[in-house]
């Protein structure tokens, strides 16, 4: 099992200081000096998910991923398919009214409408997605129906809603007393700061989940209510295959959380899988995808994007712009929540 760990250190250290990295793409570039990025995990750190071949594992973004992983794990432990596991897993988050960034209880847009984005992808490269979906509690299951019951990959807005109703999904008001209260509070000022919202450590975000099943197959799912109080009609990265999620069963899978505009512009999850194809570890690939965003954004300190990747051998990697990113892991041995920055600091 891989145990090698390297961490970068204090703020201001350039990445080029790491002379022993195995890959070349990122080697020639430094993150901006004096950055908070220095506290993060940055090299070939794969042990959290490394495990014997054929052993299932599931990983998810943020601490609400722990409950989602448990549900997904029940499927995997029974020998079930990774696709069933991730759908089952993220439905837990979608149904939880206390989570203000996903499904039921998710914060609405600036006009008070809860609009949901979701996608999933399986081991065969099949994909399904819904965008700007309203009144349906489980967009991930609608995305699966799009994948399995239509010749298309994505349905949006009223068409997606109509399709969901035709498929028997119940309609319901997804605004809870609490999310309505928060929206009213926000409406009093109408101060639109979607970016800093994402940097707030108290804000629990989009769930993206990746699973490897007993048969060695990978799948992933992503579901969100998007940026809180977003413009009506805004769609983020979460339903975009290649941006918030990508799965290639021969290589690995990757997923995202955070400011979707940045993930979309860099096609982050596809990039990570392609970098793994070229030989990078999941961790190094996530870091490179983060660097692509940081390099082009003078305002990167106000942006959070977190990536999570799982290769076909069960190795896990993760990297984020800001230090508050966490991911949850469940396998046969353990359940754990990793705060990427704390782990780096503790192991340094």
Tokens of 331: 């396998």
322 touches ligand SD4 by CB under 6 A:
no
Judged by CB, which is closer to ligand SD4: 209, or 217? 209
Measure the CA–CA gap between 230 and 89, rounded to whole angstroms. 26
238 touches ligand SD4 by CB under 6 A:
yes
Do residues 271 and 236 make contact, with C-beta atoms less than 8 angstroms apart?
Answer: no
The residues in 57-116 that bind ligand SD4, with binding defined as CB under 6 A, are 101
Identified catalytic residue from 206, 224, 266, 338: 206
205 touches ligand SD4 by CB under 6 A:
yes
Judged by CB, which is closer to ligand SD4: 99, or 211? 99
Only segment of 6-14, 146-154, 235-243, 316-324 that touches ligand SD4 (CB under 6 A): 235-243
Least Å from the CB of residue 205 to ligand SD4? 3
Phi, psi (rounded to 5 degrees) for 207: -100, 125
**Which of 48, 89, 106, 226 touches ligand SD4 (CB under 6 A)?**
226
249 touches ligand SD4 by CB under 6 A:
no
Containing 288, the helix (H) or strand (E) segment is helix 282-296
Do residues 164 and 134 make contact, with C-beta atoms less than 8 angstroms apart?
Answer: no
237 touches ligand SD4 by CB under 6 A:
yes
Phi, psi (rounded to 5 degrees) for 115: -125, 130
Judged by CB, which is closer to ligand SD4: 51, or 198? 198
Cα→Cα distances 187→86, 108, 308, 331, Å: 35, 11, 34, 43
Do residues 296 and 20 make contact, with C-beta atoms less than 8 angstroms apart?
Answer: no
128 touches ligand SD4 by CB under 6 A:
no
224 touches ligand SD4 by CB under 6 A:
yes
**Which of 49, 80, 236, 317 touches ligand SD4 (CB under 6 A)?**
236
In the chain, the N- to C-terminal Cα span, in Å, equals 20
Least Å from the CB of residue 239 to ligand SD4? 9
260 touches ligand SD4 by CB under 6 A:
yes
Least Å from the CB of residue 12 to ligand SD4? 27
220 touches ligand SD4 by CB under 6 A:
no
Do residues 225 and 102 make contact, with C-beta atoms less than 8 angstroms apart?
Answer: yes
Is 66 designated active site? Answer: no
Judged by CB, which is closer to ligand SD4: 123, or 237? 237
Least Å from the CB of residue 61 to ligand SD4? 8
Measure the CA–CA gap between 12 and 33, rounded to whole angstroms. 4
If you search the block for the tokens 């019951």, which residue do you land on? 149
DSSP letter at 16?
G
**Which of 209, 223, 257, 324 touches ligand SD4 (CB under 6 A)?**
257
Cα→Cα distances 68→44, 73, 96, 176, Å: 27, 9, 10, 21
If you search the block for the tokens 């990793």, which residue do you land on? 338
Residues binding ligand SD4: number (CB under 6 A): 14
Do residues 80 and 213 make contact, with C-beta atoms less than 8 angstroms apart?
Answer: yes
Tokens of 43: 């090299």
| Residue numbers at the binding site for ligand SD4 (CB under 6 A) | 101, 198, 205-206, 224, 226-227, 236-238, 257-260
Instruction: Give the residue numbers marked as catalytic.
Output: 206
């Amino acid at each position: 099992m891989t145990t090698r760990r390297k961490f970068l250190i204090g703020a201001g250290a350039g990445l080029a200081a790491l002379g022993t990295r195995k890959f070349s793409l990122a080697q020639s570039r430094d993150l901006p000096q004096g950055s908070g990025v220095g506290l993060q995990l940055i090299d070939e750190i794969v042990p959290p998910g490394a495990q014997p071949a054929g052993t299932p594992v599931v990983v998810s973004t943020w601490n609400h991923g722990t409950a989602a992983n448990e549900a997904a794990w029940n499927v995997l432990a029974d020998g079930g398919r990774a696709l069933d596991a991730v759908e089952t897993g993220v439905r837990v988050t979608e149904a939880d009214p206390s989570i203000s960034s996903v499904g039921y209880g998710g914060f609405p847009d600036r006009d008070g409408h809860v609009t949901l984005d979701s996608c999933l992808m399986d081991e065969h490269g099949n994909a399904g997605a819904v965008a700007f979906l309203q009144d349906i509690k489980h967009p991930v299951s609608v995305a699966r129906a799009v994948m399995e019951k239509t010749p298309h990959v994505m349905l949006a807005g009223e068409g997606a809603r109509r399709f969901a109703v035709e498929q028997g999904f119940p309609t319901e008001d997804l605004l809870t007393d609490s999310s309505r209260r928060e929206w009213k509070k926000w409406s009093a000022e109408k101060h639109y700061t979607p970016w800093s919202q994402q940097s707030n450590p108290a804000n629990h975000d989009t769930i993206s989940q990746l699973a490897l099943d007993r048969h060695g197959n990978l799948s992933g799912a992503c579901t969100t209510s998007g940026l809180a109080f977003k413009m009506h009609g805004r769609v983020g990265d979460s339903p975009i295959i290649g941006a918030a999620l990508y799965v290639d069963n021969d290589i690995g899978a990757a997923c995202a959380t955070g400011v979707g505009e940045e993930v979309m512009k860099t096609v982050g999850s596809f990039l990570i899988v392609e970098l793994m194809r070229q030989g990078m570890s999941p961790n190094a690939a996530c870091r490179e995808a983060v660097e692509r965003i940081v390099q082009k954004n003078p305002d990167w300190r106000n942006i959070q994007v977190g990536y999570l990747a799982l290769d076909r051998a069960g190795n896990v990697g993760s990297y984020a712009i800001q230090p508050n990113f966490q991911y949850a892991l469940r396998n046969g041995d353990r359940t754990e929540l990793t705060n990427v920055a704390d782990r780096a600091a503790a192991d340094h």
